[in-house]
C-alpha cells in the first residue's frame, strides 16, 4: 500500500508519516470534560480518531492510543455543587454515559483513558520544573502562571504572534498576572470550594489549570516526544499551543511531530453551541437515528472539513448505508482474507493514505456495491465487507440492519414492528391470491407510508426493509 501522508497542523501541509520508532505509533487525543452528556461534536472527535487508530493498525503499526478524561474543572465543581453531589459521583456517572455513547457508535476504547485527578502529582512536578526553568511564577493571588513571553516560539501551532495576541487582547480580568497573555498552571483554592477540589502543592492548596493536565498525562504515558496529538479544531488555540509551551519548556524536547485537528460540527452553517440553541447530545441524535448511520454520516465527510448537521443529512446517510447493506443482503463472501492487491482495495488504501480521505474511500465502497449488484461475486462481497470493516462499518447482518430500528426503539419495539409487518405481508399475499389487487396495493401503500418498503422476490416471496 502507498505510504501514509498526514496533514500536520504545525506545518500547515500534508507530510509523509514517519513514526519516531519504526512500526510503532504513539497518539494522544484530547478527550471530554465530563459534567454533562456528550454532544455530536464530541461524537465527531471520537469517531474520527477511532478511524485514525483503526487505519494505523490496518497498516500494521503497533499503536498506543491515549484519550484523556478531564474530571476536575470549574464547570465540574459548579455542577456538582448545584446537584448536591460529589465531583467523583458526577464525573463517574457521565463517564459511564460517555462510554455508552461511544460503544453505540462503534468507537473502540483507547489503550489508555487517564483521568486528570489520577495525575495530579505529575502535574505538580511539571509545574515545579517550569518554575525552575524560568517559565512559571507564582502571582500575588496565589495562582501559578506560565510566562508566555519566555517561550520564544509561542504561536507556532496557531500561527499567532505575540504582537497579534497583544493587539487583540481585552482588559485582563486577573491583574495579578505579569502579562495578560500568561495562563494559569495552578489555581489557588478558594475557601468556598469543596474540599475534594483541593490538592496540596508547594504553592498551597489548589488544583491544576486545564492545559497542564494534557501535558502531564501525555508525557507520562507516551514519553516527552511522541508521534501524533489530535483533537477538535477549537483546541488548536489556546489549548494545544499552551501544551507545546508547557511540555517543551519543561523537557527541552520537541513535544509532538504531527498535530491533527478535526473540523467543527455546524448546524445550518453556524457552529453548534448551547448559546445558539442548536446543540444536540449524542443521545438525542441516537433517539432518532441508528448509531451506525451516525458513524457513517461522520465518516462520509473529510475529517478536517466542517460537518453540517441536519436531519436531512442524516436521512441521506441512512439511505447511503442502506444501499451498501442491500448489496450484501443476498450475497455471501468466499471466506478468504481481504486482498489488498485487488484494484478496489488499492484505490481504497490510496484514499485512506491520503490524509485519511474517507469520502473517497467510501465512494470505492459504493462502486464495489454496484458491482456486487451486477455480478453477485463472492470475492467482491468479501472485499466490500473487509474494506468497510477497517472503518468500523457493515459489520451487522444485512437483514438485521435493513429491518432494524431507525433509532430510539428498543428490542420490543422492533419485535412488534416485525410482527405487524409480517402479518400485513401475509394479508397482502392472501389478497393477491383472492385477486383483490386493490387491497394488495392498499397494504403496500400503507406500509410505505410507515417507512417500510416491500420487495417481491422470484417464486412469490416478499421481503421488506426500512425505507
Residue 300 confidence (pLDDT): 98
Q: Given this model, what pLDDT does residue 411 score?
A: 47
Cα of first residue to Cα of last residue in the chain, in angstroms, is 37
Give the burial class of 89: count Cβ atoms within 10 A of its Cβ; 0-12 exposed, 13-18 middle, 19 or more buried: exposed
- Closest by CA to 144, choosing from 166, 126, 121, is 126
Question: In terms of C-beta distances under 8 Å and separation of at least 24 residues, what long-range contacts does 417-421 make, across chains too?
Answer: 421/447, 421/452, 421/464
DSSP per residue over 46-68, as a string?
A: HHHHHHHHHHHHHTT-EEEEEEE
Is 243 annotated as contributing to ligand binding?
yes
Q: Is 342 annotated as a binding residue?
A: no
Instruction: Examine residue 171 and say whether the peptide bond preceding it is cis (omega within 30 degrees of 0).
Output: no
Beta-carbon contacts of residue 130 (< 8 Å; ≥ 6 apart): 136, 146, 185, 246, 249, 250
Nearest to 233 by CA among 204, 264, 198, 256: 264
| Structural contact between residues 52 and 110, judged by C-beta atoms closer than 8 angstroms | no
Q: How far apart are alpha carbons 456 and 85 in whole angstroms?
A: 58
CATH match of 311-396 with 3.40.50.1970: no
173-to-148, 150, 176, 329 alpha-carbon distances in Å: 17, 21, 9, 62
Domain boundary assignment for the chain: 11-266, 311-396, 409-466
Q: What does the pLDDT read at residue 465? A: 82
Q: In 3-state terms, what secondary structure has residue 464?
A: strand
Spell out the CATH class of 11-266.
alpha beta
312 with 332: CB under 8 angstroms?
A: no
pLDDT (0 to 100) of residue 168? 53
Which residues does the chain have with pLDDT short of 50? 171-172, 411
Question: Residue 452: what are its φ and ψ, rounded to 5°?
Answer: -120, 125
Tell me how far apart the alpha carbons of residues 394 and 329 are, in angstroms, rounded to a whole number: 11
Determine whether the annotation assigns residue 38 to a binding site. no
Looking at residue 443, what is its pLDDT?
83
Q: What pLDDT shows up at residue 12?
A: 97
Amino acid at each position: 500500500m502507498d505510504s501514509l501522508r498526514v496533514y500536520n497542523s504545525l506545518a500547515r501541509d500534508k507530510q509523509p508519516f514517519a513514526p519516531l520508532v519504526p512500526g510503532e505509533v504513539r497518539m494522544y487525543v484530547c478527550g471530554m470534560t465530563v459534567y454533562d452528556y456528550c454532544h455530536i461534536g464530541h461524537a465527531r472527535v471520537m469517531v474520527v480518531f477511532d478511524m485514525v487508530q483503526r487505519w494505523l493498525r490496518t497498516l500494521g503499526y503497533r499503536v498506543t492510543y491515549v484519550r484523556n478524561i478531564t474530571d476536575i474543572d470549574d464547570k465540574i465543581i459548579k455542577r456538582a455543587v448545584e446537584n448536591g453531589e460529589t465531583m467523583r459521583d458526577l464525573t463517574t456517572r457521565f463517564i459511564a454515559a460517555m462510554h455508552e455513547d461511544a460503544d453505540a457508535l462503534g468507537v473502540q476504547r483507547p489503550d489508555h483513558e487517564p483521568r486528570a485527578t489520577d495525575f495530579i502529582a505529575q502535574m505538580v512536578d511539571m509545574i515545579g520544573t517550569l518554575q525552575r526553568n524560568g517559565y512559571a511564577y507564582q502571582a500575588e493571588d496565589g495562582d501559578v502562571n506560565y510566562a508566555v513571553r519566555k517561550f520564544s516560539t509561542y504561536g507556532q501551532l496557531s500561527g499567532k504572534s505575540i504582537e497579534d495576541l497583544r493587539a487583540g487582547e481585552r482588559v485582563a480580568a486577573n491583574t495579578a498576572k505579569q502579562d495578560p497573555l500568561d495562563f494559569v498552571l495552578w489555581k489557588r483554592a478558594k475557601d468556598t470550594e469543596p474540599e475534594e477540589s483541593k490538592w496540596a502543592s508547594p504553592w498551597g492548596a489548589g488544583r491544576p489549570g486545564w492545559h497542564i493536565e494534557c501535558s502531564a498525562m501525555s508525557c507520562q504515558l507516551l514519553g516527552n516526544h511522541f508521534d501524533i496529538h489530535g483533537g477538535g479544531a477549537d483546541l488548536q488555540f489556546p489549548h494545544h499551543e499552551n501544551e507545546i509551551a508547557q511540555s517543551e519548556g519543561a523537557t527541552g524536547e520537541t513535544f509532538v511531530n504531527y498535530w491533527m485537528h478535526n473540523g467543527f460540527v455546524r448546524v445550518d452553517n453556524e457552529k453548534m453551541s448551547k448559546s445558539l440553541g442548536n446543540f444536540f447530545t449524542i443521545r438525542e441524535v441516537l433517539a432518532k437515528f441508528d448509531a451506525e448511520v451516525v458513524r457513517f454520516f461522520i465518516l462520509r465527510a473529510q475529517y478536517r472539513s466542517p460537518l453540517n448537521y441536519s436531519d436531512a443529512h442524516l436521512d441521506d446517510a441512512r439511505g447511503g448505508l442502506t444501499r451498501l447493506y442491500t448489496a450484501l443482503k443476498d450475497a455471501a463472501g468466499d471466506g478468504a482474507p481481504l486482498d489488498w492487491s485487488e484494484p478496489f482495495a488499492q484505490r481504497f488504501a490510496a484514499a485512506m493514505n491520503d490524509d485519511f480521505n474517507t469520502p473517497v474511500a467510501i465512494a470505492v465502497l459504493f462502486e464495489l456495491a454496484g458491482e456486487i449488484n451486477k455480478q453477485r461475486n463472492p470475492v467482491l462481497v468479501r472485499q466490500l465487507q473487509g474494506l468497510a470493516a477497517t472503518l468500523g462499518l457493515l459489520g451487522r447482518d444485512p437483514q438485521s440492519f435493513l429491518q432494524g430500528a431507525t433509532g430510539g426503539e428498543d428490542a420490543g419495539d422492533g419485535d412488534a414492528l416485525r410482527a405487524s409487518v409480517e402479518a400485513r405481508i401475509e394479508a397482502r399475499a392472501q389478497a393477491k391470491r383472492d385477486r383483490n389487487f386493490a387491497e394488495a396495493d392498499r397494504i403496500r401503500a400503507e406500509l410505505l407510508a410507515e417507512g417500510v418498503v416491500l420487495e417481491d422476490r422470484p417464486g412469490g416471496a416478499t421481503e421488506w426493509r426500512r425505507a
